[in-house]
Amino acid sequence: MQKSEVLFAFGVIVIMVGALFGGFMISNLAIRNSGSGSSSTAAAQAYDLTLVITTDNWFNNTIGYEPAFYVLQNNQLTSSANISLPANVPIHITIVNYDDGAAPVPAIFANVSGTSGNVVFIANDSTVNSSQPAGASAAINVVDPQPVSSVNDSNIAHTFTVQLGTATVLNIPIEPSSVETATFTLAPGFYHWHCMAACGSGAAGWGGAMQTPGWMAGVVYAS
């Protein structure tokens, strides 16, 4: 072997060793990255979302009071105009509805959809969960939350309906004076939410709150 050939062979060996070492470093990095990814997945846990519906909200001098959804967080009622949720995580939703009146709603929105088991648990409806036993005078008889997949469409005060474009991905009919709970999961995306019961102002009940973000409508951003 001539001197130039020896140098060439040595150079090839150096390059091969370098390539092997570089590959080892890259694969090592990949392992580290996959490790950190799995730990962030493990950190993802169920998320609690509490919505409160009240009725004595001053809308303006023409319309007067209107009902509104709020998000309860950090011990405060905050606007429901923009609701941010973690994606791909079970959302435990609790809706506390102080509105005691029903509103007209298309029958399709009397069905529960998009929740775990396609049911909602009605926990505090006085007609469902707490009635006096026959013959009792002052006792209150509180029954466990009742899972329902649909409610009577003449007994709906509001709905919490989440849509992706025109497709409904979540529908929870909300009975008057009730507390309802359910679990759902959203894929990442930009959704709209709306109440589908005509609870607002005007002849058809679709004015005022029904047309206003933070009252009976808003967006849901899952990420």
Q: Which of 91, 110, 216, 222 forms a contact with Cu ion (CB under 5 A)?
A: 216
Query: Letter for the amino acid at 1?
Result: M
Footprint of Cu ion on 129-168 (CB under 5 A): 158
DSSP 8-state class, residue 198: -
Give min distance, CB of 75 to Cu ion, in A.
24
Give min distance, CB of 48 to Cu ion, in A.
22
Give min distance, CB of 69 to Cu ion, in A.
8
The token duo for 47 is: 């998320």
Q: Is 194 in the site for Cu ion (CB under 5 A)?
A: no
Q: Which residues pair with 121 in a beta bridge?
A: 147, 181
Nearest CB to Cu ion, comparing residues 176 and 185: 176
Q: Which of 51, 85, 174, 199 forms a contact with Cu ion (CB under 5 A)?
A: 199
**Distance from C-alpha of 208 to C-alpha of 55, rounded to nearest angstrom:** 13
Nearest CB to Cu ion, comparing residues 168 and 185: 168
CB-based contacts of 102, cutoff 8 Å, min separation 6? 154, 155, 156, 157, 176, 197
Q: Is 170 in the site for Cu ion (CB under 5 A)?
A: no
CB-based contacts of 125, cutoff 8 Å, min separation 6? 175, 176, 177, 178, 179
Give min distance, CB of 189 to Cu ion, in A.
23
**Distance from C-alpha of 217 to C-alpha of 52, rounded to nearest angstrom:** 14
Give min distance, CB of 70 to Cu ion, in A.
13
φ, ψ of residue 15 to 5 degrees: the values are: -65, -40
Q: Which residue's beta carbon is nearest to the bound Cu ion?
A: 195
Q: Is 195 in the site for Cu ion (CB under 5 A)?
A: yes
Query: Which residues lie near Cu ion (CB under 5 A)?
Result: 158, 195, 197, 199, 216
